[in-house]
Amino acid sequence: MVVQKSVVQSRVFGELEVNEENIITFEEGIPAFENLKKFVIVKEEDSPFLWLQSIEDKDIAFVIINPFDIKPDYEFDIGEEVLKKLEIESESDVAVFCIVVIPEDVKQTRVNLKAPIIINVNKRKGIQYLLDDERYPLRYYLFENSNSNVQK
Amino acid sequence: MLVLSRKEGDQVLIGENIIIKVISIEKDCVKLGIDAPKNVKVLRYELLQEVKNENVEALQGRERLSKIKDLKEILSDEQE
C-alpha cells in the first residue's frame, strides 16, 4: 500500500507533513467548528499535551490532554449511538482526550472533562461527546487540583 | 414554535417514539421525564452552548502552552 502524504499548513507548527492514514474524521465537526471535519493529532515533545490540528484550517488547533494523566479515575459510558457512529467494537479501538483551555493567567488553566474527544484509533473517526454527567465539570482547574502547595 | 399547556402527569408525544412527561411543577422549575430511543441524544440545551464557548476560548490560549510547561516545572520542583 502506498502511504499518501500531504503537507498541511499549521499556525502552530508551520508546515506539517501528514500521513493520510493519520487523519481523523469528525463527521459532525466539533461544537462551534462544525464545518471542520478532518483533524490530525500532533504530539508535543516532552509534554503531556498534544494538539488536535485541523487540516482544513491552519488556525484551528486545540491543546488536548489524556484525561487519565490528570484524573486516573475518569470514566464514563459511551452511548450506543456513539459506538455505532464511530464503529467502535472493542475497548482497544478507543482513545480519549480532553480539550485544554489556557487563559491569560495560566494558573487558571482548565480541562473540559464534560465533553471528551473520543476517537476510534483504528477507524480514525472522532467525536466530541457531551456527557450529561454531574461528576465531571466543564472546567476542571488543572493546577488547583494538582497535589502542589503552590500559593494561589 | 408549538406551545402546549400541560398539567402535572400529562405527556407529549414527539414523532412515534419520544415521550415527554411532566413529572412535577414547582415554583420556577418543571421536572420533565424524557423517554426516547437510545439513538436520540437528549441534552440540556445550554450544555452545548457552554461547550461551544469553551472550544472557542480554547483556541485563544494555544500560544500560552509554552508557559504552562514552565509552570509545570515550577509545580513539580515545589513538590520535591
Inform me whether the C-beta atom of residue B80 falls under 8 Å from chain A C-beta atoms: no
Q: Judge whether A14 lies within some domain.
A: yes
In tens, the pLDDT along A67-104 reads 999 999 999 988 888 999 999 999 999 999 999 999 98
Q: Judge whether A150 lies within some domain.
A: no
A49 and B65 within 8 Å at the Cβ level: the answer is yes
Cα dihedral B49, B51, B53, B59 sign: negative
Q: Judge whether A152 lies within some domain.
A: no
CATH code: domain of residue A81: 2.30.290.10
pLDDT band, very low/low/confident/very high, at B72 (cuts 50, 70, 90): low
Say if strands A140-141 and B11-14 run parallel, antiparallel, or are unpaired: unpaired
A106 and B64 within 8 Å at the Cβ level: the answer is yes
CB atoms within 10 A of CB A97: 21
* B80 has a pLDDT exceeding 50: no
* A149 has a pLDDT exceeding 60: no
pLDDT at B73 (0 to 100): 64
The whole-number average pLDDT for the span A124-143 is 92
B contact residues 6-65, partner A, Cβ 8 Å cutoff: 38-44, 47-48, 50-59, 61-62, 64-65
Domain of A13 in residue numbering reads as: 5-144
Cα dihedral B57, A47, A114, A137 sign: negative
Q: Rg of the Cα trace of chain B?
A: 23
Instruction: Tell me which chain B residues have a C-beta less than 8 angstroms from the C-beta of A49.
Output: 65, 68-69
B58 and A79 within 8 Å at the Cβ level: the answer is no
Pick B59's closest partner by Cβ from A62, A109, A149. Answer: A62
Question: Which stretch of DSSP H or E encloses residue B13?
Answer: strand B11-14
CA distance B29 to B45: 16
What predicted TM-score, i.e. pTM, was given to this entire model? 0.85
Q: Judge whether A56 lies within some domain.
A: yes
pLDDT band, very low/low/confident/very high, at B17 (cuts 50, 70, 90): very high
**pLDDT > 70: percent of chain A:** 93
ipTM entry = 0.88
In tens, the pLDDT along A22-57 reads 999 999 999 999 999 999 999 888 888 999 999 999
* A145 has a pLDDT exceeding 80: no
CA distance A64 to B70: 17
pLDDT at A25 (0 to 100): 97
Inform me whether the C-beta atom of residue A9 falls under 8 Å from chain B C-beta atoms: no
Q: Judge whether A151 lies within some domain.
A: no
* A152 has a pLDDT exceeding 50: no
How far does A92 lie from chain B, in Å, by closest CA? 23
CA distance B19 to B15: 9
Cβ contacts from A onto B, under 8 A: 105
Q: From the candidates B38, B52, B59, B63, which should be mutated to test the interface with A, based on the most A CB atoms within 10 A?
A: B59
pLDDT band, very low/low/confident/very high, at B74 (cuts 50, 70, 90): low
The residues pairing with B20 across neighbouring beta strands, listed in sequence order, are B12, B34
pLDDT at A133 (0 to 100): 83
Domain count, chain A: 1
How far does B61 lie from chain A, in Å, by closest CA? 5
* A146 has a pLDDT exceeding 70: no
DSSP class of A66: -
Q: Judge whether A112 lies within some domain.
A: yes
